[in-house]
Amino acid sequence: MKTTLLALLALLCFSFAAAAASVDGKWTAEVQGRGGTQTQTFTFKADGNNVTGSISNMRGDTPIADGKLSGDTLTFSVMMPGRGGGDPMKVTYTGKVSGDSIELTFDRGRGPQTITAKKAN
């Protein structure tokens, strides 16, 4: 009886671990900006529920902060430089991971915007 219960508990633990989405690696997305469409590259590394990484675009790399992965939900934030030398702005991203894509929603002060990042090869 104890062996069966332990085996069942182990199976449940492995099932929850397998259900977590994988975000490790590089992802690319086309983002509409004031200067037109630009490509952003997201690089993520998950360690349990914690996620680190960066966003890269033509202006350079910006590290992410507060990265979390809970099931298929990814959240993180970045500090964007202020416009015209103004104060930096914290931008929070929320995404749903589905296979080789992540649908991310964020707001840079012009209303919510949703993009789809695709897994890069």
The DSSP symbol for 21 reads P
Q: Which residues contact 45 (CB under 8 A, 6 or more apart)?
A: 24, 51, 52, 53
pLDDT digits (tens, 9 = 90+) for 8-65: 444 444 444 445 689 999 999 998 877 789 999 999 999 999 999 999 988 889 999 9
Q: Which residues contact 44 (CB under 8 A, 6 or more apart)?
A: 23, 24, 25, 27, 51, 52, 53, 64, 67, 74
- Please say whether the structural domain 22-119 has been given the CATH code 3.90.1300.10: no
Whole-model pTM: value is 0.78
Within 10 angstroms of residue 15's Cβ, the number of other Cβ atoms is 9
Q: Which residues contact 71 (CB under 8 A, 6 or more apart)?
A: 19, 20, 21
Q: How far apart are CA 45 and CA 13, in angstroms?
A: 22
Least confident stretch, 58-62, 99-103, 112-116: 58-62
Q: Where are the domains of the chain?
A: 22-119
Q: How far apart are CA 80 and CA 110, in angstroms?
A: 14
Mean pLDDT of 57-82: 92
